[in-house]
């Protein structure tokens, strides 16, 4: 018994339709933004690297963004602020030149964040949305935070890990960068891969 022509055409149409639907789904998944996290592992941590909150002082870590350009989306780190007031900071990004960062900041806008005031001595997650500023980078960079005010008694303790690249710091605007070689603050940045 032969299959009626209309059933054969209908079957062929359905196969083509479902093939097209699968292709569209595959393309939309492929076209989604690819993201990755660069920097150190995010954790509350039991180790601390502590700094005083002094206007102009910077703390940061070196990160490798890869050879292709990426856009910075979000900075994350865990920190304990031992003062009774919050501490304002801004985010800076520098290109690495060998072992030290260059002086020119790759961020033209002022991207502000707040370290919350003391809360039971526990580390708190601080996140800063970088996506509106369209910071596009590649290669080795230093991502740092710079304290915008001086807070007496503000001992800022960053969660950190051993043997993960070290922590860079600068005591004032005009001071030279120094590196704590063994202990690295757990800064990380979510980035979007660009085509």
- Taking the model in full, what pTM does it have? 0.80
Residues 182, 162 contacting (CB under 8 angstroms): yes
CA 106 to chain CA centroid, Å, is: 15
What burial letters (b/e) apply to 120-148, b meaning 16+ CB within 10 Å? eeebbebebebeebebebeebbbbbbbbb
Closest CA to 115 of 141, 91, 143, 142: 91
**Mean pLDDT value of segment 58-63:** 96
Residues 129, 74 contacting (CB under 8 angstroms): yes
Class of residue 160 by CB neighbours under 10 A (exposed 0-12, middle 13-18, buried 19+): buried
Residues 81, 116 contacting (CB under 8 angstroms): yes
The set of residues, in sequence order, having a beta carbon less than 8 Å from that of 171 and lying 6+ positions away, is: 54, 57, 178
Classified as helix, coil or strand, 149 is coil
Closest CA to 129 of 165, 78, 76: 76
At 92 the pLDDT is 97
Beta bridge partners of 47: 160
**Mean pLDDT value of segment 31-56:** 80
Percent of the chain with pLDDT over 70: 80
Check residue 174 and report its DSSP letter: S
At 38 the pLDDT is 96
**Mean pLDDT value of segment 131-143:** 96
pLDDT top residue among 44 and 63? 63
**Mean pLDDT value of segment 30-47:** 75
**Mean pLDDT value of segment 102-112:** 92
When the pLDDT of each residue in the chain is averaged and rounded to a whole number, the result is: 84
Closest CA to 155 of 147, 144, 143, 165: 147
């Amino acid at each position: 018994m032969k299959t009626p022509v209309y059933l054969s055409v209908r079957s062929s149409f359905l196969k083509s339709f479902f093939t097209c639907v699968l292709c569209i789904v595959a393309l939309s998944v492929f076209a989604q933004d690819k993201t990755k996290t660069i920097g150190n592992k995010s954790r509350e941590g039991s180790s601390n690297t502590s700094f005083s909150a002094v206007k102009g002082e910077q703390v940061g870590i070196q990160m490798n963004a890869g050879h292709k350009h990426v856009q910075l989306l979000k900075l994350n780190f865990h920190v304990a602020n031992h003062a009774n007031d919050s501490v304002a900071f801004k985010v800076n990004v520098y290109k690495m030149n060998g072992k030290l960062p260059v002086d020119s900041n790759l961020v033209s806008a002022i991207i502000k964040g707040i370290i919350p005031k003391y809360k039971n001595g526990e580390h708190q997650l601080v996140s800063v949305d970088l996506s509106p500023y369209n910071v596009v980078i590649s290669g080795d960079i230093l991502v740092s935070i710079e304290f915008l005010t001086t807070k007496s008694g503000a001992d800022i303790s960053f969660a950190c890990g051993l043997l993960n690249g070290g922590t860079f710091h600068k005591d004032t605007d005009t001071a030279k960068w120094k590196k704590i070689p063994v202990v690295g603050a757990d800064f990380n940045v979510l980035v979007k891969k660009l085509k």
